[in-house]
Chains A and B, each alone.
Chain A
Amino acid sequence: MQITFVQAVLITLFSVFSNLMFPLFGDIGGYFGIGRPLVAGTIVGAILGDIKTGMLIGATLNAVYMNSQAVGNVMSSDVTMAGYTATALAMAGGSDTAMALALSIPIGIFGALLFTAQNAVCVFVSHWCDKYAEKGDTRSMWIFGIIIPAIIFNAIRFLTTFPVIYYGAQYSSAIEAWMPEAVTNAMGVVGGILPAVGMALLLKVMVTKPSHWCFFLFGFIAYAVLGIGSVPLTILAIVVAIILDELRNKNSDDTLESLE
């Protein structure tokens, strides 16, 4: 599949909109919104004219990079840049999910390095703003503290992402054609097991006591063996959680309503 100039510009723009330094309700609309690989893949698919393929590649990327967030600003991989660029290149080269996964690793690391560098540059920005704050000059704080850094950082993201998508697409189909069947099969196996990383990362954060494993196994068996769909499964889980909460706090005076 060829990626035209206009398509490459559009994909790059969405990739820029989803980074943390673009004001889209902070991380709500961007990083955790259109920046999630599932949404990114769907948008890339829509731009390239095959929405379902893009969505499926994005969904698998999302499984691998599930719960990837910048805790305390430390980012191990910039999934927003990886999601858009890797999905676009994989679609250009024959829509191979494993190819998208392989590409997402170096791209994600590059994006994270860029973010780290931006944070370093902004140390100076913060010191300039001190001087304006002492004069009560919020206008200059906006211009030098927010607007100019935003323009520069987002321009850098655009200028580094665009050539990778536009020129990279021409190579990815050539690579796809050259790849021997054994490698394609191996990539299929890799694409199947990599989502285990995302799941394991979530488990690492969420399992805080041994009994938590019961809930995980319950969900796994409900889908793998009993075939319960995701919406009924979620409702079932909420029902169980509420019953358990009642049982655990039978003798407690404060209820969830006290949050009001």
Chain B
Amino acid sequence: MSENMKKLTNADLRKSWLIWLNFCCLSNNWERMQNIDWALAMAPSLRKLYPNDDAAFAERLTAHMEFFNTQPTVGCAILGIVNAMEEEKANGKDIPSEAISSIKSSMMGPLAGIGDSVMNSLIEVILMSIAMTMAYQGNVLGPILYMIAWVAVSLFVSWYLMRRGYELGVDSISVLSSNAMARLVEGLTDVGLVVIGGLTATYVALSTSLEISVVDADSTAVQGVLDGIMPGLLPLGVTLLSYWLLAKKKVSPMALILILFVVGTVLSLLGIC
């Protein structure tokens, strides 16, 4: 390694990581999405790599003003990779600007997909489900533990991916698209679905006050009959019906909320529920 090799330190990476995480959702815009914050997150590293060359610095900064949009936490992997590529480029390795652009644009979509599903749909939902069940029992620790666990997991994952992305550079792509990643998603989906099942049983509530009279006998409460088959049959039915409307009939969530509002009110006013 030659004397004048430019090297990004851990502190440089941390600065880039903090700027990206904190401001990535700010100045979001419909044209180029997270581009402003991305360029600013790269700026301290670029300044260090081109300390005396203002023209090169401005050129690289402008290049990073292009369209960029991904999920913030998992997107840190891209930030790590691009930091590593910029470092190599500044050290004279022949990396065209287009190569960096194409890494960004080819990774941001898949990683946004992984981020939205793993972080926001699986890990968040699993942690939140535990917290919500605790809250249902009146335990204030539920939301507190959620905050601690969620922030800790998210910060750990994002910094870990940032570091790994930087260390492995372009090689990280093979890790992220490996079979192991698919297995992790599959496993988390299994856990998430079990937890959602429990959450549905906790939070969806519906019972009927209908009574049927069998010949000559006292009237029987329909709810008692239903509970005899399986407790929670009506809540399960409402949930599956909602799923069917959302997934198969393409009803929007807001429309579904309104439908349930009207149906619930009518059922109650008719004395059925």
Contacts and interface: CB of A to CB of B under 8 A. Distances in A.
Interface of B: 20-33, 35-37, 39-40, 43, 47, 54-55, 57-58, 61-62, 64-65, 69, 72-73, 112, 116-117, 120-122, 124-126, 128-136, 138, 140, 142-144, 146-147, 150-151, 154-155, 158, 175, 178-181, 183-184, 186-206, 230-232, 235-236, 238-239, 241-243, 245-247, 252-254, 256-258, 260-261, 263-265, 267-269, 273
26 contacts: A21-B25, A23-B23, A25-B151, A38-B135, A38-B143, A59-B135, A73-B30, A126-B29, A133-B65, A134-B62, A146-B36, A189-B206, A194-B261, A195-B203, A199-B200, A200-B246, A201-B246, A203-B196, A223-B202, A224-B232, A230-B130, A230-B198, A241-B188, A242-B187, A244-B190, A248-B186
B262 to A, nearest CB: 9
A190 B265 contact: yes
A121 B242 CA distance: 36
Contacts of A176: none
Given A146-B36, A197-B260, A215 B193 contact: yes
Nearest to B181: A259
Contact of A20 (B25, B32, B140, B191): B25
Nearest to B133: A230
A56 B46 CA distance: 49
Contacts of A228: 198
Q: In terms of DSSP, what is the predominant structure of the interface of chain A?
A: helix
Contacts of A258: 175, 178, 180
A33 B72 CA distance: 14
Interface string A7-31: 0000000000000111111111111
